[in-house]
A and B are shown apart, each in its own frame.
Chain A
Amino acid sequence: MTAATGYAPRHTLPLRVEFVRQFRRRRTMVMFGLLMALPWVLVVAFQFGPGNNNQNSLRLSDLATAGGLNFAAFALSVSASFLLVVAVALFCGDTVASEASWSSLRYLLAAPVPRDRLLRQKLVVSLSYSAAAVTVVPVMALLAGTVAFGWNDIRVPGTGEIIPAADVLPKFAVVIGYAMVSNLVVAATAFLLSVSTDSPLGAVGGAVGLVIVSSILQAVEALGSLREFLPTFWNTAWLDALAPVPEYDGMINGVAVALTYAAILIAFAFRRFRRKDVVS
């Protein structure tokens, strides 16, 4: 008998347990509360803010009140660049580092939850929370926008063409999926930092910092086509999917870049965690 009766490595740290452990945390609740409240705050801002009478403007922000779908696209565009990045960095950067800072990590490892399995389960759970965060904003915005501005066909920013709502819904799913994938880089960076440090805020801040540095670099045109390999370069490519003639090249490039970074960073996270001396 080498192990205690009933012990099997593949049964350790079930996903359900990890979901519960993370869900009851205040920062999880606050983050989701914030993400769900944001569209309603925007609705109120559009309703009571000083009116913009520029009815014929074709900017995304001016078209936001044209209907639920337009509003959802607007809400996603304003939250994707920073709020969702922070949410994803929080869920993925906090996951291992906070266990280390609470010292509960060593008891999980001594339970024993094998290191690869611990990391895998944590990765699945934090990516699920990240995906939920990315989904909740546009879906809630769709709901809030429909309640406030009605269920109208989408008016395309820039050209002003009308696309029937039913045609746009599947594209909307593509947009949400793309937003998830493009945030994989942030998730993977935060995750790697999370296994490397005992400070949850360090891991979250590090990942957000990377996004900031990357956004600064992508504004430097002298870098030429090198910028295409920056992790944030293709983040707004999802706007192409809502054009009257949808273009997917930018999104495909974005997915390629995101998957590349994510695969390597996550591999490094596993490798590092396997060899690490857990001293926290």
Chain B
Amino acid sequence: MQCGRFLPEICDIYQEIAETGRATTEAVDLLRRSSPVSVPGRIRVPTLIIQGQRDSLFPLSHADANARAIAATGAPVQIAWINGGHDGGDNEQDYVFDRTTAWFDRWLKETGTTQGQTFTVSRDGGRDPGTRRNTIVHAEGGTYSGITGTEETKVTLSGPDQTVANPPGGSPAAFSSIPGFGSLLGGNNSAGLGAALDLPGQSAAFESDPLPRRVHLTGSPTARIRVYGDGEVTLFAKLYDATSDQLAVLPANLAAPLRVKATPAGTPVTIALPAVDRQIDAGRRLRLVLATTDLAYATPAAPAVFRVGLASGELTVPTAPGLVAPSTGPAWWTWAMPLAALVLATALLLAGRARRTATTPDPALAETPLQITGLTKRYRNGEKAVDDLSFTVHKGQVLGLLGPNGAGKTTTMRMLMGLIHPDAGEIRIFGDRVTPGAPVLSRLGSFVEGPGFLPHLSGQDNLELYWRATGRPPEDAHLAEALEIAGLGDAVHRAVRTYSQGMRQRLAIAQAMLGLPDLLVLDEPTNGLDPPQIAEMRKVLRAYAAKDRTVIVSSHLLGEVEQVCSHVVVMHRGRLVSDGPVAELLSRGHLNGSTRLEDVFLDLIGEQT
């Protein structure tokens, strides 16, 4: 025989009792001598009792007896009902370790200050929000309510007297749990929702109506029954948490065994059901079952029949409303973190703002539409897209910004619009330095690198909403004139996504002209237009500048510039190559023997024909 850690004499009496099913007097004496019950009033040290709720070998009632005996001496006692036990569940090793260490620190080392509550019960804490797995919370109470509870709830049970039979040899047997294994029917989880099985003919059941409200059972419920018959009967009492259709739950899979001397007149018995802690929800029923067999116990072999009925319909359910899971309360970071984040966010925003340098307008340039000084912008790879560019544009000019693709025309225009930050130099429009969102940009109309419209809106809606986005008065928009320039006809009411490239281009130029800005910047305005439209556009641009306004047109087409512009700035590889009236440029070309702008241009950028 394997006796494990047991003394040989304990092992011997265990075998003897297991064979006969009855304890001898010697065995009882031996067990009594080994139990704290043999030293009443002599355990006077501070005691922490940790007992598992899922334990059919050492149930909570044992811990209760110890706690009462020790507390009677005046020694401080704390009791913790943890989730696990010999029958399974979660043994909460970390929690047990912490509690015990704190207890020893307090009473042996005398350093610890944190002391647990007098009574702690591990309960189902619902699901972890992240893992959706069951968690355990520790309900605490300042006083130990014992297994009889601090309050009682009466629940009425009903049911007729029922006949129960003890099968010959005690087999087959009903099933609640196997000590050390728990429920074999599955559901052996930390919430203690094990299933159990009763056999028809061997069990009597009495049930309550659905509970009108939730009851939290903490302790050992009691009920009174009568047993009719002749001779001794072994019964196993269980209290189920049941509904009509689902499998009933036997809390902690515990059954209370009892022996009754049955009489034909009926022997009244008060049953103390196993002590458990369980919340019985509203709408559930309590079901008291009395079975003649249980797999975990040896039962009489002789077949016999008894009758079981209720002596009183009243089931006493102990409760301990003083036990509450501490509301952990918001952690310190709950308040600190958002505040810190707000401070950090404010700091981030203010630090970003500090980069803005105050610029003072230059009154001497108030009538100069554009002055660019030493403008430089590098690509990310360090290559210069615009290199030390300087030129000035005066009122009434139509300036051509001329250069091959990649000369830096578009980058210059982007800087002009405040879209990209120059690395060096500055741009002044009417004396005001251009920065992102500078108010003076409201005097600039621009069309750079293609149109930009909301494709789901019509052309007209796009222009109207764009103007409303500028926040300026509607009458300043001159929408009708702009739409006339766009020349879209009825198409203006169609969604922009249906437009051709040329239509979008014209609409974009019209948008640039909204509000008739003092300075109009157009990037390749004639791309995608057909010859009559190009001719029309030239007229529009010349007429626009004639009213003391200024137009800047970029192009890589020489003929374009020659026909539209009064002045020209030639760029090549980011640098200014030439700057002056078109006529002057042509006359310089004349010296080289050619009046064709193309030759002059190629000459300027250093590539000979």
Contacts and interface: CB of A to CB of B under 8 A. Distances in A.
A58 B331 CA distance: 31
Nearest to B245: A56
B341 interface: yes
A267 B283 CA distance: 51
Interface stretch (B74-82, B368-376, B435-443): B435-443
Given A58-B281, A233-B129, A13 B469 contact: yes
A67 to B, nearest CB: 16
Interface string B9-22: 00000000000000
A107 B452 contact: yes
B4 interface: no
Given A21-B454, A106-B448, A244-B214, A274 B333 contact: no
Nearest to B457: A24
Contacts of B432: 2
Interface in A246-280: 247, 249-250, 252-253, 255-257, 259-261, 263-264, 266-268, 270-271, 274-275, 277-279
A12 B243 contact: no
B453 A17 contact: no
A187 interface: no
Nearest to B127: A236
B376 to A, nearest CB: 14
Contacts of A255: 338
B130 A219 contact: yes
B93 interface: no
A3 B348 contact: no
A161 B212 CA distance: 9
Nearest to B346: A267
A237 B127 CA distance: 11
Contact of B466 (A107, A249, A253, A268): A107
Interface string B408-444: 0000001001111100000000111000111111111
B345 A6 contact: no
Contact of A256 (B128, B338, B452): B338
A112 B442 contact: yes
A274 B421 CA distance: 10
Nearest to A57: B246
Interface string A76-101: 00000000000000000000000000
Contacts of B596: none
Interface stretch (B147-155, B471-479, B542-550): B471-479
A102 B453 contact: yes
Nearest to A265: B345
Given A160-B282, A221-B131, A108 B469 contact: yes
Contact of B418 (A21, A109, A159, A233): A109
A24 B456 CA distance: 7
Contact of A102 (B131, B214, B281, B452): B452
A21 to B, nearest CB: 6
B244 interface: yes
Please report whether the interface of chain B is mostly helix, strand, loop or mixed according to DSSP.
loop
Given A113-B469, A253-B330, A4 B443 contact: yes
Q: How many A residues are at the interface, by size bracket?
A: 35 or more
Contacts of A261: 341
A233 B361 contact: no
Interface string A17-40: 110110011100000000000000
A103 B507 CA distance: 14
A148 B417 CA distance: 58
A254 to B, nearest CB: 9
Contact of A219 (B131, B340, B351): B131
27 contacts: A1-B366, A2-B431, A3-B440, A4-B517, A9-B439, A9-B471, A11-B472, A13-B469, A13-B471, A25-B456, A106-B452, A107-B452, A107-B466, A110-B418, A112-B436, A114-B437, A159-B279, A160-B284, A161-B281, A237-B129, A252-B334, A259-B338, A260-B337, A264-B345, A271-B349, A275-B352, A277-B421
Interface of B: 128-131, 133, 213-214, 243-246, 279, 281-284, 327-331, 333-335, 337-338, 340-342, 344-346, 348-349, 351-353, 355, 361, 366, 414, 417-421, 430-432, 436-444, 446, 448-457, 461, 465-466, 468-473, 476, 511, 515, 517-518
Please provide the 10 A-B residue pairs with the shortest distance between their CB atoms, ordered closest to farther: A11-B471, A103-B452, A267-B345, A114-B437, A218-B130, A3-B439, A277-B420, A104-B452, A112-B441, A7-B442
Given A14-B468, A21-B457, A249-B327, 17 more contacts: A1-B430, A2-B431, A4-B518, A8-B471, A13-B471, A106-B414, A107-B446, A109-B436, A111-B441, A159-B281, A160-B282, A161-B213, A161-B281, A218-B130, A236-B129, A264-B344, A267-B346
